[in-house]
Amino acid sequence: MNPRIPIRNVWLLQLYASSLYRAVGQQLVAAEDNPEDLPALVAGILADAVTQRIHTGLSVGFRQTARPVTRVRGRINVLPTARHQLLTRGQVHCTFDEVVTDTPANRLVRAALWRAAVLVPGEPRLRSLALQLEAAGVRGPCPPPSHVPSLHRERLLVRDRQMIAAADLLLNFSLPTTDQGGKFLPAPDMDEGYLRDLFERACAGFYRLRLTPQGWKVSHGSQLKWDTSSMSSGMAAILPGMKLDIELVKPDRTGPGRRRIVIDTKFTSITKTNQFADLKLRSGYIYQIYAYLMSQEASETNPKSEGLMLHPAVGKPVDEEVMIQGHRIRFATVDLAADSATIADQLLEAITPTQPSDSPATPVRARPPDQGL
C-alpha cells in the first residue's frame, strides 16, 4: 500500500529536493506554509532572473557549422567550394564554431517559462520572456532531465545557476497530474520509483537547509566501507557496497554533544501484517540499518551512532525506538498528507532525542528555523 499525497505536498517535496531550495532556501521558508503558492513564487524568481540575464546578455555556446561565407573562418572545405564555384561569387565553404544563444541551459529556461505560463496564468511576464528568448535565437528542444544535473555543475554557467535551478524546479512542478477535480496524487506503480527518490532527496534537502547553520554536516548518498580484516583475492569484485541515504553528523570535540545519525528512507508502510494479523516492523529494514551501524562500530567514538528508518505514514503513525548493542535505532513516519508545518515538525522531531541523556535536549519545532537541536 502506498500513501496518497496531495498535489500541494508533492510540490513541497519537490521544493525541498531542489537545488533552488539549497541556494535560496531561507527566502522560501515562509512560503512552505502555502505550497499552493510555490509555483507562482518560483515563477517570479525565474522571471526576475531571466529579465536580468536578457539585460546583461544571455550566456552563449558554440556550435559547429559548415556553410559558404564571404571570409575564411575555421577550416576551408575545398571540395564543396570548387563544386559550387563559390570563389567566382566571392565565397568560400568553411567549417567553424559559431557563437549561439541556443544552448541547453537557455532551452531549459525557455521550456520552463512556457510551463510556468500554464501553471501561473495570471503572470503575463512569463509568456513575454519566452517569446523574447525565441527572438534571441533560443528555439531548440528542452534538454532531457538526465542532462540537467550537468548544467548545475557547468563552470561557465555560474551566473545562470539560480535561473537554471528555478527552471528545473518549475518543470518538476508540472509532472504530478490528476484528473479534473482530483485532489490527490494516487502514486501508481509507474510513479513509485520517482516518489521514492523524491522523498529521499526532499528529506536530505530539508535537513541540509535547517541543520547546516547549526553546525551539522549533512551528506546524501555517501558510501560506506565494510570493516574487513582480510578477504580472498576475488572478494573485492563481488562484495556489494553500502550506500547511505542520508547521514547527519554534529561534531563536538568534548564528546557528549557529538551525534551521528544514519537515516534510511523508504516509500512503503513501515510495518506489515504477519500470519497472526499483528502489525510488525519489516525485518529486512531492521537488518539493513543494523548492518549500517555495526559495520562502522570499530571506528566509532562515544556516543555511538544512531539509526533512523524514516517512512511516510500509512495508516497509524509510528514513532518508536530501541537500543541494540548501544546503538539507538528509531522508526518514525511522516504524514505527507498533513500541512507543511506538521511535515517540517515531524522531520525535525524524528532526529530529536527522546531518551534522557547527559545533556537534555529541548524539543525542537520547525519554527523558527534557526532554533538549535
Instruction: Identify which of 218, 104, 196 has the alpha carbon closest to the alpha carbon of residue 150.
Output: 104
Q: What is the CATH number of domain 189-349?
A: 3.40.1350
Q: Give the angle subtended at the CA of 161 by the CAs of 160 and 165, to the nearest 5°.
A: 120
Q: What DSSP designation does 142 have?
A: P
Q: Quick one: pLDDT at residue 262?
A: 93
- Domain locations in the chain? 5-57+104-185, 61-100, 189-349
Classify residue 196 as exposed, middle or buried by CB count within 10 Å of its CB (0-12, 13-18, 19+). Answer: middle
Non-local CB neighbours of 42 within 8 Å, separated by 6+ positions = 15, 20, 116, 166, 169, 170, 173
Walking along the chain (373 residues) 10 residues at a time, the average pLDDT comes out as 69 87 72 75 91 92 91 93 93 92 94 92 92 93 89 87 91 56 38 83 92 91 83 88 89 72 88 68 85 78 81 86 90 90 92 60 42 51
Other beta carbons within 10 angstroms of residue 218's beta carbon come to 19
**Amino acid (1-letter code) at residue 362:** T
Non-local CB neighbours of 159 within 8 Å, separated by 6+ positions = 53, 59
Q: Which residues pair with 242 in a beta bridge?
A: 224
Q: Quick one: pLDDT at residue 180?
A: 38
3-state secondary structure of 150: helix
Three cell numbers, residue 102: 541556443
Share of the chain above pLDDT 90, in %: 38
Q: Quick one: pLDDT at residue 227?
A: 78
